[in-house]
């Protein structure tokens, strides 16, 4: 049984190492002479991008896995029901109210703290209420998520139309998903430390998530503080989503793809191996995907392909679930 768990982890880990190596060194092919300064700048820039991709993969995987446990279904992830839309709306509101020259936009630390606070409050007030009232009602969760995602997107579009064109460009640069134009200002000082701390706390709760898989009543009967862990997890989820979105922009379906592929491979519900495997899948998906796009010189964004593949995969999961029922 352990071989069935460790073998795919080893294979994907090896693929991830190869993908990172190719991404880091491919640009050197064809260069006859390169100085130490050029090599250092190139490797530093690409290493920052790789670290950012790893942060995004870890964040989206553990948040998606945790949210699926709390909602008791394999379709919903935080991004699907609008967590990242909260980030986009908050950026637009800041520019609309204070202008693009405000420190809340130009200072990455102020911006991140304010945005994370807004996302935590939204997740606690809105999604905490939804989970308590209808966590086993998939139709309700999907409907509410769709309504609020549409509402926030419509409000964002309206504000984008009335703000100054220069301010609009600032908003677009901060909210469009891009794996080549990352916000590296917060990478080493905020994103990486926060991600490590939050993942450690969530990793310690994985044993409770295994029990929560049995259902709320069974988990409570086994001594699990179900509501407390759920509220705490919503805070961690909001923080990690804000970290991921602040780095590369909204990636709606990445968590859905990585977590469900991990479930398909392992055929088990233990959170620790699922989290590790889903994270490795995310790293391979992002790094190898970005490498392939650069090699083929395709004029498209990996985020567009992720949303396309994720949307098709979500439809496939829904259709398969409908056949089983």
Per-range mean pLDDT, top range of 168-177, 181-190, 269-278: 269-278
Over range 4-14, report the average pLDDT.
Answer: 88
Six-digit token string for 136: 């086993």
Radius of gyration of the chain (CA): 20
pTM recorded for the entire structure: 0.89
**Domain assignments of the chain as residue spans, ordered by start:** 2-22+66-324
Residue 323's CB is within 10 A of a number of other CB atoms, namely 7
pLDDT on residue 99:
86
> Quick check: 227 pLDDT over 70?
yes
| Pick among 2.40.50.140, 3.20.20.100, 1.10.3470.10, 3.50.50.60: CATH of 2-22+66-324 | 1.10.3470.10
For the cut 90, the answer to whether the pLDDT of residue 217 exceeds it is: no
Angle (CA) 143-148-153 rounded to 5° is 125
Question: pLDDT tens, 76-127?
Answer: 788 877 777 888 888 898 899 988 888 888 888 888 888 888 888 877 776 6
User: CB of 54 within 8 A of CB of 281?
Assistant: no
Q: Which of 79, 46, 98 is nearest to 245 (CA)?
A: 79
Give, to the nearest 10 degrees, the angle between helix 271-283 and helix 36-71: 140
């Amino acid at each position: 049984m352990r071989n069935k768990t460790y073998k795919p982890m080893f294979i994907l880990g090896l693929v991830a190492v190869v993908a990172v190596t190719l991404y880091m060194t491919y640009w050197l092919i064809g260069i006859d002479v390169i100085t130490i300064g050029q090599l250092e700048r190139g490797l530093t820039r690409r290493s920052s991008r790789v670290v950012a991709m790893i942060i995004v993969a870890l964040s989206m995987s553990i948040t998606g896995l945790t949210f699926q446990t709390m909602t008791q279904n394999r379709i919903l992830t935080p991004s699907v029901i609008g967590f990242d839309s909260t980030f986009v709306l908050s950026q637009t509101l800041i520019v609309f109210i204070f202008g693009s020259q405000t420190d809340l936009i130009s200072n990455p630390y102020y911006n991140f703290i304010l945005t994370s606070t807004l996302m935590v409050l939204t997740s606690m007030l809105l999604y905490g209420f939804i989970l308590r009232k209808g966590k086993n009602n998939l139709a309700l969760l999907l409907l509410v998520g769709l309504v609020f995602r549409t509402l926030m997107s419509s409000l964002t579009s309206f504000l984008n139309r009335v703000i100054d064109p220069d301010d609009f460009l600032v908003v677009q640069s901060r909210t469009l998903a891009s794996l080549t134009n990352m916000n590296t200002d917060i990478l080493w000082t905020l994103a990486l430390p926060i991600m490590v701390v939050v993942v450690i706390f969530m990793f310690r709760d994985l044993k409770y998530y295994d029990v929560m898989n049995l259902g709320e009543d069974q988990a409570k009967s086994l001594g699990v503080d179900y509501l407390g862990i759920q509220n705490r997890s919503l805070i961690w989820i909001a923080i990690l989503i804000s970290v991921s979105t602040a780095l590369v922009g909204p990636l709606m379906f990445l968590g859905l793809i990585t977590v469900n592929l991990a479930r398909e491979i392992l055929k088990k519900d233990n959170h620790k191996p699922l989290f590790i495997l889903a994270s490795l899948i995310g790293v391979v998906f992002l790094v190898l995907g970005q490498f392939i796009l650069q090699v083929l010189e395709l004029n498209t964004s990996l985020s567009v392909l992720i949303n396309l593949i994720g949307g098709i995969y979500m439809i496939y999961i829904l259709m398969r679930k409908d056949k089983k029922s």
